[in-house]
Structure formats: C-alpha cells, structure tokens
Structure 1
Amino acid sequence: MNHETPLSPLPLQHLTDARPRVMSAAQLRTHGVSTADAGAHCLPGGPWRQLLPGVWLLHPGPPTSEERLHGALLYAGRPPVRQAKAVPAQPGAGEPHASYADAMVTGLAALALHRFTSAPPLLSLDRVDILVPRTRRLRSVGFARLVRSAAMPTTQQIAGFPVAPVPRALADAVAQLVDAGAVRRLLTEAVRGGHCEPVAVVRELRNARLLSLPHVVDAVDSLLAEGRAIAEDRLYRMVAEHGLPAPLWNVDLRLPGGPRLGSVDAYWPDQAVAVELDTRAPRQGLRHDDDALWSAYARKREHLERLGITVVHLTGQKLRDALDQQATVVRTALMASHDRDPAAYVVVLPR
C-alpha cells in the first residue's frame, strides 16, 4: 500500500472513537488513510474538518480547546523519522507524544495549563503559541502561532501536553501583550502562586529584550516588590515555626561614630549573626548588572565578617524549597557564636 492507496470504509470506522480526535497526515497514513482521502472526508457535509495544514479534525464540529492544542502541536512538531505503528489514541501524561518532538505550548495557553487564574481560558484564545527551535521551517498559520527559540527549555508535561516552564511561558505571553494591568497580574501571580521566583522571570524577560518596555518595567517593579514581601514572610515563618530566638528585624548596622555598614534583614546582636535575603534581579538586561549587584553583596558581607559578624545568605527559592534546611543553617550559625572571638561593637538602627 502506498500513500495514495484509495480509502476503504474500514479506516474511517476504525477512527471514529480515536482520542484525541485530531491526527496528522503521517498518523492517518498508519491507519491506511491517504492525504487525498482525508481531504475527501472534509468536503461539504463530510465527517471531518481540516484543522491546520496537514492536520485533520475527525469530526465535523468545532474543535475543543484540547483538540486545538493537539492540532497546533501536530502542525509544529517535527515529524517522526519512522512510525511503523499507529499512534496511541491518548499519550500518557508523563510520556512525550512522538509527533510533538521539538514543540511545546507556550505563552498564554501554557499559563492556562499551569492554572493561572489571570490567563484567559484556553477556548477564548484566538491563537495558541507553540515554541519551536529557530531552525524549524514553518510559518504561523490559522490559530497556531510559532515562537522560535535558539535554545529550547526543558519541557513540562501537563495533561499530556508538552508545556514550556512558567518563566519562559510568561516571557512569550508578555511579548504579545500591551495591557500593563494584564502583564502585572500575570507576573504577580507567578510569584504569589509559588510557580517560580522573580529572578527567573526577570531573566527570561531580559533574554527576550522586553525590559526596555515601560509597561513591562512597571510590572517588574511590582513583581520584585511582591517577591521581596513573600521572601520576608517566609523568613518570619522560619524563625517562628522552628523556635529560633527572635532577632532584630530590618536594621542598619554602623560602626560607632563611623560609616554605615549596610542593611540586614535579621540580626541577633548577642550572637553577632545576620541574615541577608537575596532578592536581587537585574533590570537593564546587561550582564554587568548581575556582576555589579553581586559585587555589592560580596563587599558588604566581607566587611561585616572582618568585624566578626557571621552573615547567612538566603534566597527566596531556598526558603520556599528547603525551609527546614535553612532554619538549621541559621541555628548552627547562632550556636557557633560561642566558639568565635567576640565581634566588634556595632550600632543597630531601624531601617
């Protein structure tokens, strides 16, 4: 049988209950259906519809949101080199679909799959964004909009779909949005909902060269403030829930009659232990911004440690993913103070 073998009644009957009810030309051929035969089924009054070039909907009604996702992925995905067997009706939630290779859902559709309440419902989206390698020779068509990437991120499987991680999906969504409120809501939910840390979002926005847009800059300011507040709440919770002695919160340290040493988020004066939260994120999109910010942190830490003050450096992600471990780190630093030489006297002032 070649790819133009006339259609027999059997394949159509066999595909009636296929799930998902969307197939590519390559998949249909494994069921004995040629491209010409598939087109014949899409004539007026026929049982199928052509959803996208090379992709058919195996019923005459409008596609569901899931069928649109499958269709866009089948259109954009790299065809398998060889497919001797029929494609399984429904790919497993943890198994990548063979025909979706080098393609994943991104943008607002991906955020909807990540269950963002601030993202529109899937069925209301005019376009489904699909991330593909830059070398793919395809064009956006119909509801499938291709987003090209020089480096593909690690995909996540959600409900059987390959989906871009939240930071990358956010950047691809923001690139299509001009509503400052919508951008701010998406970025805030990413952090408030525990999907990712601010620094990961800012890094993707920077890579996409979006940090120069005024409405994105405003949203990033809100994002960083939100991330800072969440990290501080986690730090307060760590101290309370793990029975650590109460520190002085948010203080400035100075030498008596001398210069300002810097601000810390928590300070135990009896043990000369300080905790500093790292919530920095470069905003200008330049590598030297990272270096300058880190250098400032390093200089302050070295100065304090020369005075005998132990500085514990924590990040929002560490507090989110390993709160117990970070509490142990702080407790160890407090207990070790008895074995150290006394620290220099410093003045502690409210920040």
Structure 2
Amino acid sequence: MTQNTPLSPRLPRLPLHPEDVAHRVLSAAQLRARGVSAAQTSAQCLPGGPWQHLLPGVYLLHPGPPTGRERLHGALLYAGRPPASARRAPAGPADTGYGESMVTGVAALALHGFAAVGDVEALHRIDVLVPRTRRLRSTRFVEVLRAASMPRAVRVGELPVAPVERALADAVAGTVDAACVRRLLTEAVRDGHGEPAAVVRELSEAKLLGRPAVVGAVDSLLAEGRAVAEARLYAMVREHGLPEPLWNVELRQPGGLPLGGVDAFWPDQAVAVELDARAPRYGAPGRRGRTEEPPRWSAPAAKREHLERLGITVVRLSPRKLREAADQQATVVRTALMAAADQEPAAYVMVLPR
C-alpha cells in the first residue's frame, strides 16, 4: 500500500500583514513558535517558492527583493539569535528576536536622520553591534561588530539603534574618506544630534583620534560645536528677557594683567558666563559603559577662582544644558544677576573685545 505524502505540507495560518515588516521577515525560531516546521519552511523556500532564505536562520516571506527595512529587521534577527548551546524557552509570537543586538554605524545614522548618509533603502551594508562574547560571523550584507560593554540602545520606530555617538564612532572606523568623516561629525553637532564633548569622547574610546581622516575633522567638529553653543546662548538671553550683556570679551586688570575671555559679561552686576565646550581630545579615555565625571581642568578652574576673588560671579553653562533646558539655564543666570545687588562691589576690571 502506497501512502501519498504532499510535496508541500499545508502551512498553519500565519498572521501576515503586508504593511508590517516584523511579519514579513521571521527567524526560524519565530516560525516554529507559529507552528511552521523546518520541513515546511524549507519547502516554501524552494526555487520558485513564495518564501526565500534571507540570512542564516532568517526568512523573507515573499519572493521579491527585500526592502531596506526588511534587511534591517533581518540583520537584527540574525545577530540576535541565541547561541546554539544556550537553553532558552521557545520564542513567543510577540518576541522580537533581537536579543541584545542593535543597529550601528552608517545604518544607525540613517535611522537617526543624518542627511549625509541618505536613506536606509540605499545601504549596501548593515552594521550590527553584539556583545563581545558572541561567536557570530559577518555574512552577506550584515557586518557584525563586537563591544566589550554594550551601550544603551535607543528605539527608532521598532528597531533598537546605537546612540548617535557610538554609531558615529563605528561609522568613522569603517571609512578612510576624510571628507565623509568631516560631513558626519559636522552634521552631528550642527543639527543637534549630539554634543562635541560626547562625540570626541566616543572617538577617543575607539582610539580613532589619531587617524589622518579624523584629525582635521575633529577640529571642524569643535569649531562647529562652539558656534552652535554661542548661537544658543544668544537665543537664551534674548528669548528669556535677560539684560543684554557685552558679548565675547576679554577681561584685564587695570595694570594689564589678563584675566581671560568670557562669552558674556554684565559689568554692572559683575556676572560672567562661560560656555563649557571643552572636549577630552588628548585625555586618557575612560572605559565604555561607565559614567565618569569629567576631569578637573586646571587652567579654567584657576581662571574662575581668580575672577571670583575679584568679586566677579562666573556662571558656567554646558552646550547640552543650553539645548535641553534653556529656560532653566536662563533662571540660573537671572538669579546670579539679581544676587549681585546683595554682594560687595567687585574690583574694577578692563573690558576689551576678544
């Protein structure tokens, strides 16, 4: 007696939604959780079949070429699959399958909205970041990068993405084009994606500051960051109704001894504002994953102490705080101006253009 076995076993009904990429790209574990066996999956991926094998252990549930979003989703599924030796409960239908993996490099910058890298649909390579302990090979359009300590991912839509500073460092590490590096770093600061100090710190962590393509670009980054911070300071003063200061001046003692420059100075109240736009270009890098206080900078600290001994109140504002909480920073400056009336008169200083 002969038993007839169907060549293409009937599939369970899958909740496919053409508009949802998470239902068009599934891992083998996700298919099993939906009742699709390995044999059924293989049958669907035969030549001329309705599915295709996108990456090892990852399947595209339509016959056409993958979109950029499908490639991103597939790359995360490939990088996020658990090691074969790991014991894990079966994946449920709501499990993303990404594990600890996240998009980084140029693909992450595209998701963050960087104009310099274009749209995700045009990307030929997708970098994914995984823990250093993962034994996973790069394959096809997926480049696997490893981190000793994983950064905290940010969500862009449904995708876990490396923070801008880490994505920039990974993108810069993969290019020797100085013009491209300069465009990326300049856009990061000019368009408010990140602060110069944080970007340079990440480049230092990755040991990229000595690269020829990076050296000049960092100078442009710091100059751009300084200009952006100054523009935010001008806007804060005017939009919050603070008295107009003397902008960008040099302070000297009557005998000519220089006291240093300040970004804004109210001579009647003896209040000065300095932008803390320094970056640890040449300092020793910290360890990834640890929050460290910035080092004490002897020259700025000495200048501040000297000015305060003369009765001048120095307010230091960071570019990040000006961007994220300008109203709070305006309150700090206004408080310093109001408190001047209750203090002893400051020593006379000369004010010169800087």
Instruction: Give the letter aligned to residue 11 of structure 2.
Output: L
Structure 2 partner of 1:116? 114
Q: Are 1:56 and 2:59 counterparts?
A: yes
Percent of aligned pairs with the same amino acid: 66
How far apart, CA to CA, are the structure 2 residues paired with 1:133 and 1:285? 26
What pairs up with 1:202-217 in 2 under 5 angstroms? 202-217=200-215
**Alpha-carbon separation, structure 1, partners of 2:104 and 2:195:** 18
**Aligned mate of 1:247, from 214, 230, 245:** 245
Note the alpha carbon deviations across 1:182-223, whole angstroms, 9 max, x for none.
Answer: 111111111111111111111111111110012211111111
| 1:82 and 2:89 are equivalent in the alignment | yes
Contact 2:79 2:136 in 1 (8 A): yes
- Out of 128, 134, 140, the position equivalent to 1:130 is 128
Among 304, 313, 321, the alignment partner of 1:310 is 313
Distance in 1 (CA, whole Å) between partners of 2:128 and 2:187 is: 22
Q: 1:44 is matched with which residue: 22, 44, 47?
A: 47
Aligned to 2:170: 172
In structure 1, give the amino acid aligned to 2:218: V
Q: Does 1:324 align with 2:331?
A: no
Between the aligned partners of 2:119 and 2:170, the Cα distance in structure 1 is 17
Give the CA deviation at 1:234: 1.0
Contact 1:7 1:33 (C-alpha < 8 Å) held by counterparts = no
Q: Is contact 1:231-1:277 (8 Å) kept?
A: yes
Contact 1:191 1:198 in 2 (8 A): yes
Give 1:33 deviation, angstroms.
Answer: 2.3
Preserved contact between residue 252 and residue 259 of structure 2 (Cα < 8 Å): yes
Number of positions where the alignment pairs a residue of Structure 1 with one of Structure 2: 334
Distance (Å, rounded) in 2 between the aligned partners of 1:338 and 1:7: 87
Partner SS, residue 169 of structure 2: helix
| Alignment of structure 1 residues 224-303 onto 2, 5 Å | 224-287=222-285, 291=295, 294-303=297-306
Q: Secondary structure at the match of 1:118?
A: helix
Shift of 1:242: 1.7
* Correspondence for 1:186: 184
**Aligned residue number for residue 145 of structure 2:** 147
Kept in 2, the 8 Å contact 1:167–1:204? The answer is yes
| Structure 1 position 15, deviation (Å) | 5.8
Query: What amino acid is the match of 1:35?
Result: A
CA distance in 2, matches of 1:24, 1:135: 21
Q: TM-score, normalised by structure 2?
A: 0.89
Shift of 1:235: 0.9
d(CA) in 2 for partners of 1:258 and 1:182? 45
**Shift in Å at residue 43 of structure 1?**
2.0
Aligned-residue offset at 1:84: 5.7
Aligned mates of 1:16, 1:124 — CA distance in 2: 26
CA deviations on 1:34-88 (whole Å, 9 max, x unpaired) are 3343223222112211111111111111111111011100000043921363x24
Q: Give the partner amino acid of 2:88.
A: V
**SS in structure 2 of the partner of residue 68 of structure 1:** helix
- Contact 1:42/1:49 (CA < 8 Å) preserved in 2? yes
Match of 2:9 in 1: 8
* Letter matched to residue 243 of structure 1: G
Tell whether the 8 Å contact from 2:252 to 2:258 is kept in structure 1 after alignment.
yes
What SS class does the counterpart of residue 43 from structure 1 fall into? coil
Paired residues of 2:8 and 2:43 also in contact (CA < 8 A): no
Task: Please list the CA deviations of residues 133-152 of structure 1 after superposition, one character each: whole Å capped at 9, or x if unmatched.
Answer: 11111111111111111111
Normalized against structure 1, the TM-score is what?
A: 0.90
Paired residues of 2:154 and 2:162 also in contact (CA < 8 A): yes
1:206-259 CA-partner distances (Å, limit 9, x unpaired): 111110012211111111111101111111111112222211111111111142
Query: Which runs of no fewer than 5 residues in structure 1 stay unpaired?
Result: 1-5, 89-96
From 220, 223, 247, the equivalent of 1:222 is 220
1:256-315: CA deviation from partner (whole Å, max 9, x where unpaired): 114211111111111111000011012225259x636x2221111111101111000001
Contact 1:7 1:34 in 2 (8 A): no
